[in-house]
Amino acid sequence: MQQQTKWTTLAGLIALSLQVSSAHAEDDFRDHEAHVHGHVELNIAQDGQELLFEISAPGADVVGFEHPPETDAEKQALAKAVALLEQPQQLISLSGNASCELEFKSVKHTLSDSHHDEHDDAEHHDEHEHHQDKHDDAEHHDEHDDHHDKHDDAEHHDEHDSEAHAKHGSFTVEYHYQCGDITKLTEFQTSWFNAFPSTESIEVNLLTDTKQTALELSPKNTKFNF
């Protein structure tokens, strides 16, 4: 928990440092939460011999959809993507003799189905009909309640639909490395564009002991020097 808290603080430090460094970087981080298909955010932070990678990617870029998987094909696509993201050596390359070893990895996504079938309208309807048969003298009251229930159900349905449309499925990935001699780390290269060809650009926010900068990677420009 202490290590995760430390790295979370580092990720925030990247944003703060680059915001202060220039107006352009400030604009970049102001839009950090914006969900844009084809656009991936990569934060890289160094603290001594430790190195953190934090990736934020739209679900559409990674699996081709942003809703809970419904078909077998979508479920397989999600499982395959998670399995790949759990293998950073397939996505990033750290050149030089820095001897960086992976110590922690985390793959999270919001393609969940937690609100699915939370309530059963059919069951509620059957219970209401049974109640109505047993209490004919309260028919008017029941009809009023039924109308109120339907109104509430409609509101809940509308709110659920609105929430579903407003919420975009996304992935958050973290890789933590411990390096033997980070001064020998010279170059970073990524295979992300080959693995997830829907991505058009990766915005990199880099904070090391010697520099802080923001840069952009593309399918034709997949590497940079530390």
Is 28 among the domain residues? Answer: yes
Per the prediction, the chain carries an average pLDDT of 76
Domain range enclosing 57: 2-111+172-225
| Buried-state track 117-131, b at ≥16 Cβ within 10 A, e below 16 | eeeeeeeeeeeeeee
Is 221 among the domain residues? Answer: yes
39-78 pLDDT, tens digit each = 999 999 999 999 999 999 999 999 999 899 999 999 999 9
Is 57 among the domain residues? Answer: yes
Residue 7 pLDDT? 52
- Please answer whether residues 167 and 109 qualify as being in contact, where contact means their C-beta atoms are separated by less than 8 angstroms: no
DSSP code per residue over 8-50:
HHHHHHHHHHHHHH-HHHHHHHHTTT---TTEEEEEEEEETTE
Q: Is 150's pLDDT higher than 80? A: no
88 in the same domain as 16: yes
191-220 pLDDT, tens digit each = 999 999 999 999 999 999 989 999 999 999
127 in the same domain as 103: no
**Which residue's structure tokens are 């020998």?**
184
Is 152 among the domain residues? Answer: yes
81 in the same domain as 44: yes
Residue 96 pLDDT? 78
Residue 36 pLDDT? 82
Is 116 among the domain residues? Answer: no
Is 132 among the domain residues? Answer: yes
